[in-house]
Amino acid sequence: MHIAFASSNGEAIDQHFGWSKSFYLYRVGKESAEFLKVIDSSQEPEGEKEKLEYKIGTIKEANIMYCTQIGPTASKMIQSSGVHPVRVAEGEKISEAISKLQEMLKDAPAPWLLRIFHKAQLNN
C-alpha cells in the first residue's frame, strides 16, 4: 500500500490536509516500510474546489492519506478519488503510525483496511 503523510518535516504528522505543502509517501506492507518520495503540493491554484482537486491529484498514488484535520468536503472528494483519509493527533510520529498500521494488518484488520490492502496488492 502507498501511504501519504501530511507533514512539514517528514517525521511527524502535523498538517491539515488542505494546508499541507508536502506529503511524504511510503510503501507499507505487513513487514516492511519504504520511504518513496516527498510530494510537493505547494503550487496551489486559486479557488477552493480547484485547490482541493489539485491537492488530491498530488497524492493520487496513495491508498491512504494521514493528516491532522480534513474538512467534510475534502474528505468526500478524497474518498471518491480512491484515497482513504485518516485523521490522527497532531504530532504523531510517522514511524509510529506505520507501526500501528502494520500491527492492525497482522492482527485483525478493520474491513476498510483489508479492502485497501488487497486492492493495493492487486495493483502491484
The whole-number pLDDT of residue 5 equals 98
- Specify if 44 maps to a domain: yes
Q: 98 is in which domain, residue-wise? A: 2-114
In this structure, is residue 108 part of a structural domain?
yes
Q: So what's the pLDDT on residue 91?
A: 95
Distance CA 51, CA 30 (A): 34
Q: How far apart are CA 13 and CA 80, in angstroms?
A: 23
- Banded model confidence at residue 124, pLDDT cuts 50, 70, 90: low
**Domains contained in the chain, number:** 1
Domain CATH code at residue 12: 3.30.420.130
Q: Which helix (H) or strand (E) holds 117?
A: helix 111-123
Global model pTM greater than 0.85:
yes
Q: Identify whether 121 is part of a domain.
A: no
Mean of the pLDDT values across residues 12-19? 95
**Grid coordinates standing for 120?**
493495493
